[in-house]
Amino acid sequence: MEPYQIALVVVGGIVLLYTILAFFAGRFFLKQAFRPVAYTLEEVKTKQTTVDNVDYSDYDNVWSKQPFEIDGTQGKLRGEYIVNPQATSTPAKVAIVVHGHTQNRLITIKYATIFYNLGYNLVIYDHPYFGLSDGQFTTVGGLEARDLTLVVDFARQTFGKDSFIALHGESMGAVTVLRVLALRSDINLVVADCPYSHAMKFFREKCRQVVPVPSFPIVDFANLISTVKYKCNFNKVDNVKVVQGTQVPICFIHGTADPLIYYYHSQKLYQAAQNPLSELHLFEGALHARSHLFDPLRYTQIVSDFVTKIENNTTNN
């Protein structure tokens, strides 16, 4: 065998071996994303109270909570709705607060409290696969908006078909509340805390953080498996395109020290926002999904001012 032929065989073998390893790495990467460890309600509440000092006293002792169960895309969606005795406006004001990856509805209480104090009724629920909801997998925001639209229907059936609907989402939940804007036109405002702008960009960044090799073809194999098995194509989870196609006012919030979803994602989304009432707020030094804990007074003021501004603008129009 000639030397060049030996070289070709060696190179071909290396390429084949790397391709095989990349395939299995992509499958493992996808499993970590789509079938992660999911915390129980008790685990989330314990960490929030003991580590993050989140106050659950109103949730435990004051709020009038009612459990609900509706049909979702992977079985039953389960959550709670809270009738606020101070929510006397007509039409009713309803905030649906959406949790992030590995979490469940109890992570949203610190955000739900802001809306409750603004006179909103509340709806909190567990994404498929998380908390008490059914489901065999998550898609990290890729397909979760299909379930959120069912929750919006439930909210309108419960509080009135003409309800003023506010959405708040954190991380994967932020992606979900943005993506639902491509499915419905009856959302009044959105608060998106640390979303990603495009799934493929996000997954490539995460891959490079985990393994010091190019993300191609690892993420591409993961996407192939995702597309075939879960009907979720990373390339089609383009939140910039969604934001460009809606007039709903959006408040983007992001920590500048976020190591999971870099804050440029929110900057890019804000630049695409069509409604001039949209806002972008960066929390200098805050980590992923920690902006509220980093500066709760500023966070509460930002959300409160934004919500009030949109309410006033809606009333005036």
d(CA 61, CA 63): 6
**Shared domain check, 250 and 227:** no
How confident is the prediction for the chain on average, in pLDDT? 95
pLDDT in tens, 176-226: 999 999 999 999 999 999 999 999 999 999 998 887 778 999 999 999 999
- Select from 181, 212, 235 the last residue of a domain: 235
**Shared domain check, 138 and 22:** no
pLDDT at 6 over 70: no
Nearest Cα neighbor of 123 from 143, 99, 145, 146 is 99
Band (18; pLDDT cuts 50, 70, 90)? confident
**Shared domain check, 22 and 57:** no
pLDDT at position 151 is: 98
**Shared domain check, 25 and 131:** no
Q: Estimate the crossing angle of helix 218-225 against helix 199-210, to 10 degrees.
A: 130
**Shared domain check, 85 and 28:** no
**Shared domain check, 223 and 274:** no
**Shared domain check, 170 and 304:** yes
Q: What range defines the domain where residue 6 resides? A: 1-34+201-235
**Shared domain check, 122 and 256:** yes
pLDDT at 76 over 90: yes
- What is the average pLDDT across 51-62? 96
Cβ neighbours of residue 165 under 8 Å, at least 6 residues apart? 94, 96, 152, 155, 156, 186, 187, 188
Cβ neighbours of residue 117 under 8 Å, at least 6 residues apart? 304
**Shared domain check, 267 and 182:** yes
- Select from 235, 259, 282 the last residue of a domain: 235
Tell me 92's DSSP state.
Answer: P
Say how many domains are in the chain.
Answer: 2
Q: What is the CATH number of the domain that holds 188?
A: 3.40.50.1820
pLDDT at position 4 is: 62
**Shared domain check, 231 and 84:** no
d(CA 56, CA 175): 26
Q: Estimate the crossing angle of helix 145-159 against helix 172-179, to 10 degrees.
A: 70
| Residue 287 CB coordination number (10 Å) | 16
pLDDT at position 3 is: 75
pLDDT at position 314 is: 87
- Select from 181, 214, 235 the last residue of a domain: 235
- Residue 127 near residue 205 (C-beta atoms within 8 A): no
Band (141; pLDDT cuts 50, 70, 90)? very high
**Shared domain check, 179 and 99:** yes
pTM comes to 0.96
pLDDT at 285 over 70: yes
pLDDT at position 211 is: 79
Cα–Cα distance list, 258 to 96, 152, 178, 285, 289 (Å): 24, 30, 19, 8, 8
**Shared domain check, 133 and 15:** no
- Residue 204 near residue 169 (C-beta atoms within 8 A): no
- Specify the residue for token string 């007074």: 297
Cβ neighbours of residue 181 under 8 Å, at least 6 residues apart? 187, 190, 242, 243, 245, 246, 248
Percent over 70 (pLDDT), the chain: 96
pLDDT at position 209 is: 87
